[in-house]
Amino acid sequence: DEPHAEEEQVPFVDGALLTDWTFRKLISCSKSVVALKDLSTKRKLSEIFLEKPDPATFPDYYEIVDKPVAINDILRKCRAKLYATLQEFTADWQLMFANARKFNGEDSWVVEDAKILEKELERVLKKNGFSDEHVPSSKKTKTKLRIKLSLKDVKSK
């Protein structure tokens, strides 16, 4: 990271600024979702969602899905600080999951994986202090330690 006197500030979001720190947290949350594995097979559930389908292999995907999006697109937008709001970030995830349902059908293994990833995303965002109404700030929430000193005379014995 380059040393900055102040964090770069990005547009206002529901009264809070998305800062470099916020984007780093969103990237961290995304990476937690990417890392999720099936406990029995050790298969990464995110594998099929990392990149958009290859148009040569799945030409019909681009006829069925209007706005394709993949996890790596979301990560690129985070790194480039292209999200103005937390809602834009979560909307891309929701769009990706909706695209999976639309193309693969509700009962497919792809959609089953999407549901698990969606729950994990909600869990890690909540764990990191993100909600529809709240974007966490890098400011330390701990109160400063206060020491009360008494200036009374100390009597020697």
Separation CA 117–CA 91 (nearest Å): 14
Residues 115-145: tens digit of each pLDDT: 999 999 999 999 999 987 677 776 554 455 6
Residues 79-118: tens digit of each pLDDT: 999 999 899 999 999 999 999 999 999 999 999 999 999 9
Say what the pLDDT of residue 138 is: 63
- At 63, is the pLDDT very low, low, confident or very high (cuts 50, 70, 90)? very high
Quickly list DSSP for 51-114: SPPPTTT-TTHHHH-SS---HHHHHHHHHTT--SSHHHHHHHHHHHHHHHHHHH-TTSHHHHHH
Say what the pLDDT of residue 134 is: 74
| pTM for the structure as a whole | 0.78
The whole-angstrom distance between residue 105's C-alpha and the CA centroid of its chain comes to 25
Say what the pLDDT of residue 19 is: 86
CB 24 within 8 A of CB 130: no
The answer to whether residue 7 scores a pLDDT higher than 80 is no
